[in-house]
Structure 1
């Protein structure tokens, strides 16, 4: 673990100012070192979506792809790969929350966070280090999963601007989900609970437009699928990479990311401060 000096000159108490950025970078370094030394969570974050991708494309893809609007049944598997890839990327981002919540909970239950509280560092930086570290880890997983998709035939027609916009949205989504995962990790009373709480986030892309069009769902489910956070995110990635209509999806996607990030940050800080005074 990276050593943090209690007399750090950039500490929150030095000169009455909190140098959150400097302390956050220190905590980020700690989390990146932890990711390198304990790669198990990173491997699971990558392998889970890859297995789902291969399963749905090569086992169910022919049938599901043939049912997509305007698709020739003979090319159903290729069409379904193009359709499902944005949903798989969303699952990859959501899956990163499990590792973050688990790591945060471990720090809380093993007393590491309590030790940080006694040091002259910004309290927000302790949480920010987890958020930034998980965002980087998640984006690496997204790149690797996308590479698998390209290897098995995914062929987006996006230009440079569309790729940059899609990448920007995935960064924003990963950042927002990371704050929510940190809050879950602090809230959880055990590491086991922390590892299970983010499972809902992984399920949400499946309950949206990630795997099938929402208009193929029952009416009661379609209402939820259309307005839950991951549907506009998936539709925006799909539109940017494949040229499907965006409509209001881009604005809704960014809006949801902002709401999730702010809610996760406020939830994290409130719980963290409450536990700090115990």
Structure 2
């Protein structure tokens, strides 16, 4: 039951090139920076990433992106990362853009064993009709486009079919965790981290505070340890290394 690994390098050592990864975080909040850096050092390439966004230039998933390690991204937001936009528009990177709430539910559904669900989000748009550019050709034409989605009416309201997402691995960051993998997330880090963790067949969690089993109040646990296979304890310096995308202060 002790899922703690000696370090991040050990925890991601077996992730192969071409693997699919669900990665937690929202902007730069709750991003598993230490695991991402360890994966970068490990050298895996051709990764297929599912994450709300792809970090920023030089931080988060932007580190892997800058070195051409990511082949495909399923996410909701391209902004704040110039290299992400450049690779997408030049045809170097395949990108499936998904409405944010739909992406969250696809991850949750996959983790819960639900193969698909219907939602009204995206009805009447290219999300339903198909044709969204997934990959551009070097000449700027669309090389790969999204397919149309199946629709069905419920009580007079049209909904479209979305498929649950599961991935080979998941990388997440938690505020507190125990040796059994039970996790507690804090503030904005509680957005996509639990969902990404559910979707991964092998989930690796870096935790800022590692406690012994029984120390966490069961009522405060956001994600039970059944969804987590590996735990990495961060140092105090690693836990404190948190960046802000846009710092705003009063004049």
Q: TM-score, normalised by structure 1?
A: 0.22
Give 1 or 2 for the bigger CA radius of gyration: 1
Name the structure where helix makes up a greater proportion of residues: 1
Q: TM-score, normalised by structure 2?
A: 0.24
